[in-house]
Chain A
């Protein structure tokens, strides 16, 4: 028995060598493994360069010129930092940035609170929880164009269901207020739709976080005589926090460049009360045709989002490493 054991051990390296496949390169004539690896990733890299990196570099170039896309044959003049200077001193743009910040703040706050609460409720294994999870996810699966148009009907003062329900609850006549047309309500009408549509997404991420907490941690806490309240604050929240922060990051980046819903619901109006940065950018680029200046603005937005996201990811990693 001992003898046979030693012979098996001695043969081990040979057997390992025999079971390792012949290098791929030797089978495909003349190419090294490294060359084959490059062969596989080149199409992806080429595509990324063509549709992501090249336009970005081109936009940076244009941001230093007076280029106008509707006059492609005009002489291109290098204007240095003038575009950036104009953008950063333009009070309209600063107002648009404030509007954007307002949207980002409220949508994230509402979506995180409601999303986490829903996740917390649906995490209890009650009868049919899988069905209700799917139902809750439906808004997120719809096309923004459909959602936008659909909500315009709901917000319609005379026939809209939203106004009808509000009037049913509060007693205010339905046609006495106009969600999309009033200066004070229009921003909120967009926040409501975005929250309706994207809360399920936040819920899904929070649910993943809650499911990642093993049952025995709660059992240990229960034996350690921690109340439900204490379990929630000292176990559930800290352990789900990295997931919640991730959801906030995703929604934050997404809503910083929010365009579709605003365009479909209010188009930036009434006046410019819902004109977020991306709408201003679009007007600058495709209505005023100041392509150079719009490029500068786009670059500024890009750097801002990129910088904020980076700071945030650092914080997220700190939380995760605890």
Chain B
């Protein structure tokens, strides 16, 4: 395990600037999640650390050693790819043993065997060790892929949306398992995803990437409650944050220069009132909670509501702001 730093890393593919001037530190034993939409440069950042791409400029250091000139093999990283990338002609056991059978390592067979079985148990695939890797379900394949990264004890684990191709239930289970394994092993892990729930639940710190730039870095709580700008605010929160012009709703105290107000559920106060400033346009019943679609003049807002809230379609309500987020004309946060 080791600390990883990226200093001023840039990478372009032809005309496209995939990563520009990213500075990032992953501390020893830390679980960092890079969150961003498709094309934000998340995968490229991982591949730059692994050595599968060469940066145009900048430095990558692993445990204080500059590794930019080194091949992937000598960087001591483990990579979990989005597409499983198991060796299809090998069994689960052979796939897990593959990284240990490197001639450079010369591990005795008994040690390899012990390690493979230990990891197989950890990722709960030990009952299928002799199966061909192509005869597994998606979840099993991804567990093998994660296990193949875990058999070694590299400086850092790099994971590229490892759960994105799984169904929701399995994703939830593996999310927990992954976090459990990481804290058990105390490993350094850089994880890339576009799923805010994965980021919020697993990360020690989240880095928000947009158009190749690292926009903000902080704990999930910081990122959620103190977003640096509109883009970051829009990445987190379910339902999506409501962006409304200044002056539309009463309440709060907007600083000078405020152009846009960001209001999540916790920033909105609802009270029934015949002569209120807003109208309930639609209610989505999700069971444990309701999504209220609210109309304020031309604007539409979505917020969560208690399912027992006695309110119906067409009802008028009084809508007030409570400590919302303020943004200037450039989308930067004002406090």
Contact = CB atoms under 8 A, between A and B. Distances in A.
Contacts of A137: none
Interface in B88-102: 88-89, 98-99, 102
Contacts of B102: 224-227, 230
A121 interface: no
Given A223-B79, A322-B132, A217 B85 contact: yes
Nearest to A235: B87
B43 to A, nearest CB: 11
A126 interface: no
Contact of A224 (B52, B74, B132, B148): B148
A239 interface: yes
Contact of A217 (B73, B77, B87, B148): B87
A223 B87 contact: no
Contacts of A235: 87
Contacts of A260: none
A19 to B, nearest CB: 29
Interface in A188-229: 214, 216-217, 219-227
A220 B50 CA distance: 10
B47 to A, nearest CB: 8
A1 interface: yes
Contacts of A219: 52, 72, 79, 81, 85
Interface string B55-87: 000000000000000011110011101010101
Contacts of B224: none
B132 A216 contact: no
- Which of A214, A216, A227, A239 is most buried by chain B, counting CB atoms within 10 A of its CB? A216
A220 B148 CA distance: 10
Interface string B249-287: 000000000000000000000000000000000101000
A173 interface: no
A223 B98 contact: no
Interface in B306-332: none
Given A225-B102, A225-B104, A239 B88 contact: yes
Nearest to B88: A239
Contacts of B83: 214, 216
Given A1-B282, A230-B103, A322-B132, A222 B88 contact: no
Contacts of B78: 223-224
Contacts of B79: 219-220, 223
Given A1-B282, A322-B132, A224 B85 contact: no
Contacts of A322: 89, 132
Nearest to A227: B103
Contact of A223 (B72, B103, B105, B132): B72
Contacts of B284: 1-2
A307 interface: no
B89 A239 contact: yes
Given A216-B81, A322-B132, A223 B50 contact: yes
A2 B78 CA distance: 47
A172 B87 CA distance: 51
Contacts of A220: 79, 81, 85, 87, 148
A130 B104 CA distance: 37
A238 interface: yes
A211 to B, nearest CB: 15
- Which of A216, A217, A223, A239 is most buried by chain B, counting CB atoms within 10 A of its CB? A223
A48 B132 CA distance: 41
A222 B52 contact: yes
A14 B16 CA distance: 48
Contact of A222 (B72, B87, B105): B72
Contacts of A224: 78, 98-99, 102, 148
B282 A223 contact: no
B85 A222 contact: no
Please list the 4 inter-chain residue pairs (A to B) with the smallest Cβ-Cβ separation, ordered nearest first: A224-B99, A225-B73, A220-B85, A223-B79
Given A219-B85, A223-B50, A226-B98, 15 more contacts: A1-B284, A214-B85, A216-B83, A219-B81, A223-B72, A223-B78, A224-B78, A225-B72, A225-B73, A225-B99, A227-B73, A227-B102, A227-B104, A230-B103, A235-B87
